Amino acid sequence: MVLPNHGANAHHVYERLGIEMPEVVIDFSENVNPLGPPAFVKERWSTYAGLITKYPDPNGEPFRSAAAKYHNVSVSNVLVGNGAAELFAALAKRYENKRAVLIHPTFSEYEATLAPYNVYIKEIMATGELSLDEVFDEVEFAEVIYICRPNNPTGYLIPLETIKQIAEYAKRYKCEVILDEAFLDFIDENESFIPYLKDFPNVIIVRSMTKMYAIPGLRLGYAVASEQIVNDIRSSMPQWNSNAIATAIGAECLQEEAYRNQAITFAKEMREQMTVFLEKWNCIVLPSTTNFICFQLPDATRSKAFFTYLLAKGCVLRHTENFKGLDGKWFRVGMKEKPQMEHLQKEMTAWFEENLSS
């Protein structure tokens, strides 16, 4: 049975496995901010609703200018997308009949979007620290390398200095670097590579508004790159690709500093509590820097039984069947509000007591 390739939309998991979906389900497979969107979204929703009668700005304004200001770059360096997913799809065309390097386990959309364009993919496996020698060996013969930072699904953050080394080496061999910073908001903006772009015209950074601001239904993401790359990619994208409500709300989201700080603190607290709980039961927990953690049972052969047990209890974890290098033996759990995390731990404890020794 093939499970869905992404988290969220929990009903698809129940349908694929033939398990009756409980009335109450908590979806830990999604990894958006559990605090919900900033308060202003609901407070001013009637104002945004009026925008549906107008065509959106073709360049994604006012969000494009807001993102440029937020990152202290020129507007010409920002490209707005209908979610980061659209940007990855548009980028993939750039590498038709070329060679790409992927570092697994990683976000499945990279490979999925490259597939239609006859891209030769070289894979590097690294659940933790990355071998620079291996990366350099592959970059010499590639046109692009994709790096997810922090990594999805492991949560591992490749050090900024390591990224600089990779970008420098890649520039020498005319290899582009696509740096996915979708979850960087949950760490610290000082960890972003964006301030270094002026020295690395071969680097393209992709950001998502979904994760931090809990607005997946609006579909909004953006890329930051050289003006030439932005223009090249934009030329292959549809007109009016971002809607007026998304760009208006997105622009205001970037002003919500107190909200971001609260989310960062909360995610860290929940992540640390969940890590302590899992390690108490001898689970292997990968070090994470963001709003989710990746873990393995002490007996990985029991993974399917554990997963289906929790589904029956209304707790949906993110399976890893489609993450190369994890192969279904690990789980990703997104952080939720404290009562929901406590409920998950309660259901896990019941299974652990029945099936594991502490």
Q: Compute the Cα dihedral for 144, 177, 221, 6 and give only its sign.
A: positive
Q: Write down the pLDDT at residue 8.
A: 53
Q: Which domains does the chain have, with CATH numbers?
A: 11-30+258-355 (3.90.1150.10), 39-256 (3.40.640.10)
Closest of 219, 237, 220, 247 to residue 92, by C-alpha: 237
CA distances from 83 to 78, 88, 265, 280, 300 (A): 14, 9, 25, 38, 34
Per-residue pLDDT of the chain (358 residues; tens, 9 = 90+): 465 554 557 777 888 878 888 889 999 999 999 999 999 999 999 999 999 999 999 999 999 999 999 999 999 999 999 999 999 999 999 999 999 999 999 999 999 999 999 999 999 998 778 889 999 999 999 999 999 999 999 999 999 999 999 999 999 999 999 999 999 999 999 999 999 999 999 999 999 999 999 999 999 999 999 999 999 999 999 999 999 999 999 999 999 999 999 999 999 999 999 999 999 999 999 999 999 999 999 999 999 999 999 999 999 999 888 888 888 899 999 999 999 999 999 999 999 999 986 4
Provide the 8-state DSSP code for 3.
P
Helical axes 132-139 vs 160-172, angle rounded to 10°: 30
Q: Compute the Cα dihedral for 225, 33, 243, 111 and give only its sign.
A: positive
Provide the 8-state DSSP code for 278.
H
Q: What single letter denotes the amino acid at residue 110? A: Y
